[in-house]
Structure 1
Amino acid sequence: MENYTDINSATVDGWVAGGWEWGKPISHETYEKALRGEWGVYLTPTKIVPHAWFGELRGKRVLGLASGGGQQIPVFTALGAVCTVLDYSKAQLDREREVAAREGYTADCVQADMTKPLPFADGTFDLIFHPVSNCYAEKLEGIWQECARVLKPGGVLLVGFDNGFNYLFDESEREVIYKLPFNPLKDEALYKLSIENNWGIQFSHTIEEEIGGQLKAGFMLTDIYEDTNGVGLLHEHGVPCFYATRCVKK
């Protein structure tokens, strides 16, 4: 099998070229509003992250982890943060550079695989913003350990993630057809289906892997909220398929 993270990088590049929602950069007007202090960003599909989760951003060093696309980093930059964005998708980083060129700032863009050691020194960042993307990583323990390593003591980790429910259902969300854990690397038929349907190689994860993993890496959970898919049958029935967490490095 080809390295699954390489498959995911190429898949996301294709999604972006096709107009993927999370690969559409913010407008100039949205950037201007952020300069005036009017802003909102997302860790999960529909809920804006509370401003209180960030604290004062001016002068803070922020890492956007797997958060390319020109949606969050421009906002943090407008608010005075010193930002770095790491993503494995070239297309997502290109969107970051486009916004930076348009608005006249320099984007520190790093193309790297988040499942590998992060290319940053210990204690580099004050805050990590990590929207839904762990579903493209088979194992999470190393990601949490690396987040803890590159954050300063007292640094903040903001994470969005799914709870696995979406992986149970067919496209209509009316029939349960898959089993959890959802892992194409351990199911040849599921791997083939993932490639044929251009899903990339995605994985379900448990709350133990997500929140428990953060706690084991040395973080303290300070807040949490739920969110839905935003569209579809599960959303219409109010089923929470996503969580966002705020943790602080001890």
Structure 2
Amino acid sequence: MGLQKHGGGGTGAEEAVPADSYTDLNARIIDQWIDDGWQWGTPISHERYEAALAGDWSMVLTPTREVPRSWFFPGMRGKRVLGLAAGGGQQMPIFAAMGAACTVLDYSEKQIASERVMAEREGYEIRCVRADMTRPLPFEDGEFDLISHPVSNCYIEEVLPVWRECFRVLAPGGRLLAGLDNGFNYVVDDDEERIVRGLPFNPLRSPSLIPERELAEWGMQFSHTLDEQIRGQIQTGFRLLDLYEDTNGEGRLHELDIPTFWATCAEK
């Protein structure tokens, strides 16, 4: 199938966990991927953290293309940053090295565990919250200055409620940095050579899209449109500042330079 395994993501963790649902299934599947060595669940090295402390850092929201430094505030020290579905010890240690006050929310227990291990290893503080981002976020209005949201909403059915919650928990002038799947991966076959299905891709409505025997490999994934991903931010109240495209980083679509992801920088 033309699907993808991707995502994002010390102290104790807070929990805000709903009853069993497809998001619970995805959390368990992602935990298994991490045991199997999933690249988006592998924390950055000590050397990379040390380099970030010295000002030599980069960050991705999508598979390959680095986020422009202009998307961050000129001075990140003291900024309140939420890593939304960003566990795994990849983005948040970089923010910590910048001097930001970091909170990470993820529904995968092992992504959260990676954040704790990373923080303990490097000696910085981070608030870890295990929660389902399809539910109201367990934060106060205006609690954050910046939200980092690497590709992950391909694992949820409805995107607009997430944008509403992001807008609510950001302070005025706050920024949302988001990595987004553009849906193209869902229409092609395994070899990315033929168009084999239409959109939307929603296995809750069409279970045959991901047979039960394949759920452990792919998880429950959903395509989303430009209307949902980008127009949805604008409709929620965000002002779009910048955006770019990215590829899968490997495979035929990548070789043909066909974009499969967007990244956006929006401001409240």
TM-score normalised to structure 2 length: 0.90
Supply the AA of the counterpart residue of 1:129: S
d(CA) in 1 for partners of 2:133, 2:230: 18
| Aligned counterpart, 2:11 | none
Question: Quick check: 1:42 aligned with 2:53?
Answer: no
SS of residue paired to 2:262:
strand
What is the letter of the counterpart of residue 21 of structure 2? N
Matched residue SS, 1:184: coil
Match of 1:155 in 2: 174
Residue 242 (structure 2) aligns with: 223
Question: Which consecutive unaligned segments of at least 5 residues does structure 1 have?
Answer: none
Q: CA RMSD in A?
A: 1.1
User: Which of 25, 29, 41 is the matching residue for 1:23?
Assistant: 41
Partner Cα separation in structure 1 for residue 173 and residue 180 of structure 2: 22
Letter in 2 for 1:23: G
Query: Residues 162-241 of structure 1 correspond to what in structure 2 (within 5 A)?
Result: 162-193=181-212, 195-196=214-215, 198-241=217-260
Larger RCO: 1 or 2 (CA < 8 Å, sep 6+): 2
* Cα pair 1:185 1:191 within 8 Å, conserved: no
CA drift of 1:195 comes to: 4.2
Shift of 1:188: 2.3
Q: Which residue of 2 aligns with 1:107?
A: 126
Consecutive unaligned residues in structure 2, runs of 5 or more: 1-19
- 1:43-80 alpha-carbon deviations (Å, 9 max, x no partner): 00001101110012111000000000000101100110
Q: Is the 8 A contact 2:29 2:216 kept in 1?
A: no
% identical aligned pairs: 58
Count of matched residue positions in the alignment of Structure 1 and Structure 2: 248
Deviates more, 1:182-191 or 1:159-168: 182-191
**CA deviation after TM superposition for structure 1 residue 174, in Å:** 1.4
CA-to-partner distance for each residue in 1:168-227, whole Å, 9 max, x for gaps?
112111122222100000012124257445211100000000001100110000000110
1:95 aligns to 2:114 (yes or no): yes
Q: Corresponding residue for 1:117?
A: 136
Alignment check: 8 A CA contact 1:194 1:200 kept: no
Shift in Å, 1:30? 0.4
Name the counterpart of 1:70. 89
Whether the 8 Å CA contact 1:122–1:150 is kept in 2: the answer is yes
What letter corresponds to residue 48 of structure 1 in structure 2?
Answer: E
Once residues 102 and 88 of structure 1 are traced to their aligned partners in structure 2, the CA distance between those partners, rounded to angstroms, is 22
1:53 is matched with 71
* AA at the equivalent of 1:183: N
Q: What is the TM-score of this pair, normalised by structure 1?
A: 0.97
Give the SS at the match of 2:218: coil
